[in-house]
Amino acid sequence: MCTGSCSKFIAIPLYVLALVSVICNVILFFPDFDTKYAAEGEDGTRKLTEEVTYMGGLVGGGIMILIPAIHIHLTSAEKCCANRCGMFLSIGFAAAGVVGAIYSLSVAALGLSNGPFCLWLNSTTMVAEWEAPFAGTEGSYLSDKTMWTLCQEPKDVVSFNVGLFSTLLVAASLELILCLIQMVNGLFGCLCGTCSGKEVRPQPAKGFNT
């Protein structure tokens, strides 16, 4: 496969994955699809899972992937960036995408490990509190769905968070793999040239052929 065609093959999935990451991160701001949890309370705090505010999907898996994807896509277009210089630059853009994907992956993994921020009945104090009851459990709640009932509000917040953070985790993993592949593809394109936009060698003038 030509390095230019490979770039196009990589860029298109990156567009989709970046969009998925942004959508998931935005939805995470609205547990139970209600805006009241994202709004600041009288004490200036929000009733949101802390990892949501890190915006791993919006910034890391979204913006930091979308910008490299655009340049990577352009390296497959003739008369644009389908040349050695464009391929060289794509290595840097892909590296930035790797950083973004790792950030999104880390935030999603942390969100799954700590669990959601919710209203639950503290068994020690017997008082309903807004906390992250699964923090420190190292994600053991994921395999024990009976623990999910500890969160009383927002409704079904555990399955809500698990579903969206898991999607972000998968999307970020795929983004990481694709960006790493593009770094290798860009290196080959830089050293060997691209199939599209080949340089045309000037023909010697008539009468000067040897």
More confident residue, 158 or 206: 158
Average pLDDT over residues 75-83: 70
Structural domain contains residue 100: yes
For the whole model, what pTM was predicted?
0.84
Residue with structure tokens 């080949």? 198
CB 196 within 8 A of CB 78: yes
Structural domain contains residue 128: no
Structural domain contains residue 167: yes
pLDDT band for position 96 (cuts 50, 70, 90): very high
Structural domain contains residue 104: yes
| Residue 207: exposure state from Cβ atoms within 10 A (0-12, 13-18, ≥19) | exposed
Average pLDDT over residues 84-100: 88
Give the count of domains, the chain. 1
Q: For residue 122, is pLDDT > 90?
A: no
CA dihedral sign of residues 64, 26, 155, 164: negative
Mean pLDDT over the full length of the chain: 84
Q: For residue 140, is pLDDT > 70?
A: yes
Structural domain contains residue 143: no
Lowest-confidence segment of 64-68, 78-82, 163-167 by average pLDDT: 78-82
CA–CA separation, 81 vs 70, rounded Å? 11
Among residues 77, 56, 38, the alpha carbon closest in space to that of 175 is found at 56
For 34, the token pair is: 């209600």
* The pLDDT value given to residue 22: 97
CA–CA separation, 140 vs 208, rounded Å? 80
For 58, the token pair is: 């919006």
For 94, the token pair is: 């892909």
Output the domain CATH number for residue 72. Answer: 1.20.120
Structural domain contains residue 146: no
CA–CA separation, 66 vs 60, rounded Å? 10
Can you point out the beta strands (E) in the chain?
118-122, 127-131, 151-153
Q: For residue 50, is pLDDT > 50?
A: yes
Helix, coil or strand: residue 53: helix
CB 1 within 8 A of CB 9: yes
Domain containing residue 49: 3-116+158-192
CA–CA separation, 19 vs 26, rounded Å? 11
Structural domain contains residue 150: no
CA dihedral sign of residues 69, 167, 36, 103: negative
Q: For residue 207, is pLDDT > 60?
A: no
Structural domain contains residue 51: yes
Lowest-confidence segment of 1-5, 6-10, 108-112, 163-167 by average pLDDT: 1-5
* The pLDDT value given to residue 25: 96
Strand partners, 129: 120
- What is the chain's length? 210
